[in-house]
Amino acid sequence: MDTALPVVRSVADLRARVAAWRGEGLRVALVPTMGALHDGHLALVRRAAELADRVVASVFVNPAQFAPHEDFDRYPRDEAGDAAKLASAGCHLLYAPPVREMYPEGAATTIAVAGPAEGLCGAVRPHFFGGVALVVTKLFLQALPDVAVFGEKDYQQLQVIRRFTRDLDIPVRVEGLATVREADGLALSSRNAYLTADERARAPELHRALAEAASALAGGGEGGAVLEGVRQRLAAAGFGTVDYVELRDADTLAPVARAERPARLLAAAWLGKARLIDNVPVPPA
Ligand code: PAF
């Protein structure tokens, strides 16, 4: 196993590597991450390697998408471990810029996204999608990849990225990949590390409740009652605050009462110190 993954830390070095590949006629894929990599991230890298000749993964814990009271400082960081995992998954280059490279002194530009960024995580974390849009736009313009791969686990984030990439005419194809789950259904997430053993045993109830609710909705079940059923199941399983359980249009993320077109059932709920998010597709009833 080759663990000597090349690392670049500046925009100039990243661009030089990508330009050299382009000179050889190679296609380039980007997998943006915040590190603390798990098998879900590595699945993105493997998909990227199917779509392009060279894969760049970025590891950057983006301060712009955390509010002051959130977990920026304690977000797990392990660059050496991440580099070894990326190399084993077929990544060719790690881009790990320091904060000052991404946001130089005096940086004063923000990006505001409406549409799919409204409600859901956008309501509970008002700073979040602006911060994601800013860093992903910068990563796209820094690396200029042909394609970038993101997980459907962060479904609202994926739709927001698709929206601003179209709106800003950024010539990058945005590819979504199905959520990677543990055997018991829990979606892989770097924040699962915050769960105690007892909470970890309860956590799969989020996916079970969503999957059963999606079947009920696809079978014509009444939206309000089905969503309330999910909330009750989460409470019974020991979850704390439920930030949302909502049915949305799968493409625009507009709220819908029933799945007349492909829809998405999305939820976010707290279990101890971990805020878990998950979502499942709901086919038209
Ligand atoms: O999903 C993530 O890990 C982050 O939000 C992203 C897309 C890398 C932007 O910082």
Q: Which range is least confidently modeled, 58-62, 165-169, 259-263? A: 259-263
**Domains located in the chain, CATH noted:** 7-177 (3.40.50.620), 190-282 (3.30.1300.10)
- In angstroms, rounded to a whole number, what is the distance separating the alpha carbons of residues 153 and 164? 19
| Ligand 1 center–CA 58 separation, angstroms | 10
Is the pLDDT confidence value at 2 over 60?
no
> Look-up: residue for tokens 């996916």?
207
Residue 44 above 70 pLDDT?
A: yes
pLDDT tier for residue 1 given thresholds of 50, 70 and 90: very low
Please provide the average confidence, as pLDDT, over all residues in the chain: 97
Give 237's DSSP letter. Answer: T
- Kindly provide the residue ranges of all beta strands, DSSP E only, lying in 34-157, ordered along the sequence: 54-59, 93-95, 147-151
User: Within a 13 Å sphere around the CA of 42, how many CA atoms are in the beta-carbon half?
Assistant: 16
CA distance 123 to 217: 24
| Residue bearing tokens 């797990």 | 76
Q: Name which of 203, 189, 196 is nearest 37 in CA terms.
A: 189
- Spatial neighbors of 172 by CB under 8 A, at least 6 apart, are 30, 140, 144, 145, 146, 147, 148, 165
**pLDDT single digits (tens) 127-161:** 999 999 999 999 999 999 999 999 999 999 999 99
Ligand 1 centre from 260 Cα, in Å? 31
Which atom of ligand 1 has the smallest separation from the CA of 151?
1
- pLDDT number for residue 3: 56
Tell whether ligand 1 has an atom less than 6 A from the beta carbon of residue 31.
Answer: no
- 30, β-bridge pairs: 56, 148
Instruction: Label residue 285 by pLDDT band (50, 70, 90).
Output: confident
Q: In the numeric block, which tokens belong to residue 48?
A: 């990227």
Q: Give the confidence band of 243 by pLDDT, cuts at 50, 70, 90.
A: very high
Per cent of the chain over pLDDT 90 is 97
Active site amino acids = 41
Which pair of structure tokens corresponds to residue 150?
A: 């993101």
Atom of ligand 1 nearest to the CA of 33: 8
Among protein residues, the one whose CA lies closest to atom 1 of ligand 1: 33
